[in-house]
Amino acid sequence: MSAKLQLEKEIREAVVFLREKNQTIPSDTIEFMKIASLEKLNSLPDIEPKTIILCADCNSDNVLIKNLKKMKGLCVDCTGEHNLYATILKAEAKVIGFQVVGTANTDKEGDIHPDMLSSSALYSLKQAREMIKDRETENWGLLTIWSGDIEEPQYMFLGNPRQNIICPDEDILQILLDKRNGEDCTEEDSAEIKGYLRELKLPEEQPLVAEIQELFPQEYGEYLTEEESGAPENFSDLEVEEYLAQWGQSHREITSNLGLRPSHADSDEILMEDYFYLEGKKKWYPKSASTYTPREQKIVEYIRNDRDNY
Ligand SMILES: [Zn+2]
């Protein structure tokens, strides 16, 4: 893997780590960091093609070399010990997805797995592994697809190939996949996407929001403006109540959770950096959180501007 690719991989991993683990950095900030650093990376001059080591079974570069002389190693993607081989790839080559194909020297050689839509369909690692498992008595194996391997790849997953982004709504999933595969979006699609953003609630859908933002920047922008335009009308009192019930922590709870001394003199100033206090509820609330939905973030801003009423 080239230095540039390696760096891109690490940046993406860092972003996933931040999205999953941190409680305070808003997802917009993380997204901004990702875009800014990838742009910077892209502006660097291209590095010469590089020799890389791949798994002889599945073509993945996700390998741990055990014996370089004998070219043996462990493949993380297709799992287990395999032969390795060295090859030269363009500096910008990267893994864009996976397929499931018949194993060499068996009755399935040259075939694609029956669950694959077509020979240009690309799946995530998780989807591909499920296909293999569904027919584990037959001779199917993983194949890693690199940029340039397939002329017009058809993406069947969201996010990057080794990270699975869940979209619980099938219609929305289809719209996102169509857009990813370069299809024009209709006005109906656009309205559906905005409606879906307004209804998002589950914290686990947060990576999906980033994906929507990337695929539908215009709709995402319009949705944000709508939300900003008339805060009280856009979310119901019930939603505000739900937020207040779900996110508040008493002074005792929060100081204990954060490992602070419970006295106000020792903790108030520190807490006020990232939290705000509602006198009426006697509770602390995070100013922002990676697991907030965009709607919850807007609710927070609304409450903070009208603190005396809560
Ligand atoms: Zn492999």
Residue among 18, 25, 15 at smallest CA distance from 297: 25
The pLDDT of residue 230 is: 47
User: Separation of 60 CA from ligand 1 center, angstroms?
Assistant: 5
pLDDT above 90: residue 77: yes
Among 95-104, 194-203, 252-261, the minimum mean pLDDT is found in 194-203
- Secondary structure (3-state) at 108: coil
Longest pairwise C-alpha distance within the chain? 75
pLDDT above 80: residue 266: yes
User: Separation of 84 CA from ligand 1 center, angstroms?
Assistant: 9
- DSSP letter at 310 equals -
User: Separation of 141 CA from ligand 1 center, angstroms?
Assistant: 9
Q: Which two tokens mark 92? A: 């910008």
User: Separation of 87 CA from ligand 1 center, angstroms?
Assistant: 15
User: Separation of 183 CA from ligand 1 center, angstroms?
Assistant: 32
pLDDT above 80: residue 136: yes
pTM of the model: 0.59
Question: 121-122 and 154-155: which strand pairing?
Answer: parallel
Question: 275-278 and 283-286: which strand pairing?
Answer: antiparallel
What's the whole-number mean pLDDT along residues 236-250? 87
- How many Å apart are CA 268 and CA 58, to the nearest integer? 56
Are 165 and 158 within 8 A, CB to CB? yes
List the helix and strand counts (H, then E) for the chain: 12, 10
What's the whole-number mean pLDDT along residues 188-213? 83
User: Separation of 61 CA from ligand 1 center, angstroms?
Assistant: 8
- How many Å apart are CA 256 and CA 107, to the nearest integer? 62
